[in-house]
Amino acid sequence: MQNSNTSRASAENSGTEDGKNPEKGKNSFMKELLSWVEIFAVAIVLALLLNNFVIVNATVPSGSMENTIQIGNRLLGFRFSYWFSDPQRGDIVVFKYPVDKALGKNTNYIKRIIGLPGETVEIRNGKIYIDGSETPLEETYLKEEWTVRNDGYTFEIPEDSYLMLGDNRNNSSDSRYWAEKALQYGAADTVEEAMTFSYVPRDLILGKAYFRYWPLNKISSLY
């Protein structure tokens, strides 16, 4: 009887290693693999949702916003900043460059809002004047004395659009230049049409930039 039981036990364990069921081990591995796939899938979906609906990440490739923002700085902004309020003068915003947008390209710019919807903005001798005011706009954020393209501009901003300038006025491709660019690259056929590209419609504004998070030793608010 003892030999018979031993034979039966051996038969039951036939095809296994140390009494383990290989099929059970395979199923366990597949379950663990699927759980990791699910975790990565959820993480990717959350990242896409955050990036497309909540936050704006921007890397600055030029010195147009110096000294507020340096070349290579990485910024974090929020898309929901203007869900319940309007953009304000002085806000630093990430937006779609209007000329490239018209040409089917997808280029993000970062500038400071200077003119608001419906305003008339004049640039005279390196100063900004709003709606005929005799007192120029106070701009403590400028990198240096403004000497390039600093005179002879009058912008009549359409409703629901904004005038954008860089803090480094001597080296910034901003609203002063975009009408020329629109004509140069074929986004507009007439001067009148080209002038509309001097402004950023609200629906092209992605969000307000708040923080610099790179480089790590320069983490700070932008305001």
What is the per-residue pLDDT across 174-190, written as a single tens digit (0 to 9) for each? Answer: 999 999 999 999 999 99
pLDDT level of residue 15 (50, 70, 90 thresholds): very low
Alpha-carbon gap, residue 21 to 13, rounded angstroms:
9
Could you confirm whether 64 is annotated as catalytic? Answer: yes
Active-site annotation holder among 81, 96, 111, 143:
111
Task: Give the pLDDT of residue 41.
Answer: 61
Question: pLDDT higher for 37 or 117?
Answer: 117
The span from the CA of 37 to the CA of 88, in Å, is 44
Give per-residue pLDDT as tens, 180-218.
999 999 999 999 999 999 999 999 999 999 999 999 999
Q: For residue 96, indicate whether it is catalytic.
A: no
Look up the pTM and report it.
0.79
The band of 39, judged by pLDDT with boundaries at 50, 70 and 90, is low
Q: How far apart, in whole angstroms, are the C-alpha atoms of residue 169 and residue 155?
A: 16
Give the model's confidence band at 42: pLDDT under 50 very low, under 70 low, under 90 confident, else very high: low
Q: Are 128 and 139 in contact (CB under 8 A)?
A: yes
Of 3.40.50.720, 2.10.109.10, 3.30.70.2740, 3.30.1320.10, which CATH number belongs to 60-221?
A: 2.10.109.10
- Looking at 64, 172, 175, 198, which residue is catalytic? 64
**Please, which pLDDT band fits residue 26 given cuts at 50, 70 and 90?**
low
The predicted pLDDT at position 220 comes to 95
The domain limits of the chain are 2-53, 60-221
pLDDT digits (tens, 9 = 90+) for 44-93: 655 454 555 568 889 999 999 999 999 999 999 999 999 999 999 999 99
